[in-house]
């Protein structure tokens, strides 16, 4: 992690962050502020979040979720785990330096959190150019590209890129994007479970997993360890 002047560094806790965030569920806010407000879903220490033992240091497992992995191309079992770990690690870094107090950072991290939780990319989708939308609608013939029911929206698919290749026409049932502030979604059991897991990893003073550590995580050395310890198993 690159650090600026030592005087610039004012660590912020999750509780301190929550105190300055835009209010979650306020549809009057700009989409940027609404995205930033999703960070307010994180739990501070104490609210069912306790410190537990360090894990994720078995080189034959995904450092993010502990599933067995033998890949020598990536430490992680999936792109999702890679993205989750990057979110935790980079948010830990932004809290440690206080850079998370910038509204732009809050927007960027909040957008990523909502996407990780499964709510899609509402801010990105609000900016899909009309020309790209028209191309997708033409391609789909007005039907959902997953189930062929009549389409109701154009959404990002996979990456957050707004070119037609990465967009899909969707119907109400196949749509995965949730508006920022959607309470039913944000309070659903799987979302709350993921929030608890992420919150725990973000709150701990000592990183719970090696991939959570903005100062010392080195995925190449993790994979190198996996390679060199392969033979111990055989």
| Minimum gap (Å) between residue 147 Cβ and Zn ion | 3
The beta strand positions in the chain, using DSSP E, are 153-156, 167-170
Indicate whether 65 belongs to the interface with Zn ion (CB under 5 A).
yes
Residue in 62, 85, 167, 202 binding Zn ion, rule: CB under 5 A: 62
| Minimum gap (Å) between residue 129 Cβ and Zn ion | 13
| Minimum gap (Å) between residue 110 Cβ and Zn ion | 22
Q: Please report, for residues 56, 140, 173, 187, the alpha-carbon distance to residue 149 in angstroms, rounded to integers and kept in the order given.
A: 43, 11, 9, 29
Q: Which is nearer to Zn ion, 97 or 156 (CB)?
A: 156
Q: Which stretch binds Zn ion (CB under 5 A): 47-55, 106-114, 173-181, 200-208?
A: 173-181
Q: Which is nearer to Zn ion, 33 or 145 (CB)?
A: 145
Separation of alpha carbons 103 and 13, rounded Å: 16
Q: Which stretch binds Zn ion (CB under 5 A): 44-52, 53-61, 169-177, 208-216?
A: 169-177
Which residues in 127-146 contact Zn ion (CB under 5 A)?
A: 144, 146
Q: Which is nearer to Zn ion, 134 or 148 (CB)?
A: 148
Closest CA to 198 of 122, 118, 129, 121: 118
Phi-psi sector, 129: left (phi>0), alpha (psi -120 to 50), beta: beta
Separation of alpha carbons 177 and 154, rounded Å: 10
Indicate whether 77 belongs to the interface with Zn ion (CB under 5 A).
yes
- The number of angstroms, rounded, from the C-alpha of 161 to the middle of its chain's C-alpha atoms is 16
Indicate whether 85 belongs to the interface with Zn ion (CB under 5 A).
no
Separation of alpha carbons 53 and 48, rounded Å: 16
Hey, what are 9's tokens? 């560094």
Q: Which residues bind Zn ion (CB under 5 A)?
A: 62, 64-65, 67, 77, 81, 144, 146-147, 149, 161, 163, 166, 171, 174
């Amino acid at each position: 992690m690159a650090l600026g002047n030592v005087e610039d560094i004012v660590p912020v806790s999750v509780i301190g962050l929550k105190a300055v965030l835009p209010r979650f569920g306020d549809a009057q806010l700009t989409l940027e502020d609404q995205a930033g407000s999703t960070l307010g879903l994180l739990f501070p220490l104490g609210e069912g979040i306790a410190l537990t033992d360090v894990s994720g240091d078995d080189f034959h497992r995904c450092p993010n979720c502990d599933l067995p992995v033998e890949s020598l191309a990536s430490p992680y079992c999936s792109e999702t785990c890679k993205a989750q770990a990057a979110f935790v690690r980079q948010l830990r870094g932004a809290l440690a330096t206080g850079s998370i107090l910038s509204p732009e950072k809050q927007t960027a991290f909040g957008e990523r959190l909502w996407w990780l939780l499964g709510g899609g990319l509402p801010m990105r989708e609000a900016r899909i150019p009309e020309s790209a939308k028209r191309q997708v609608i033409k391609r789909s013939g007005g039907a959902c590209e997953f189930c062929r029911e009549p389409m109701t929206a154009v959404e990002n698919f996979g990456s957050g890129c707004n070119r037609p290749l990465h967009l899909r026409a969707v119907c109400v049932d196949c749509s995965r994007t949730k508006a920022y502030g959607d309470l039913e979604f944000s309070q659903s059991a799987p979302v709350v479970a993921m929030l608890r897991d992420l919150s725990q990893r973000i709150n701990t003073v000592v990183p719970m997993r090696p991939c959570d550590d903005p100062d010392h995580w080195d995925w190449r050395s993790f994979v190198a360890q996996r390679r060199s310890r392969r033979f111990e198993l055989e």
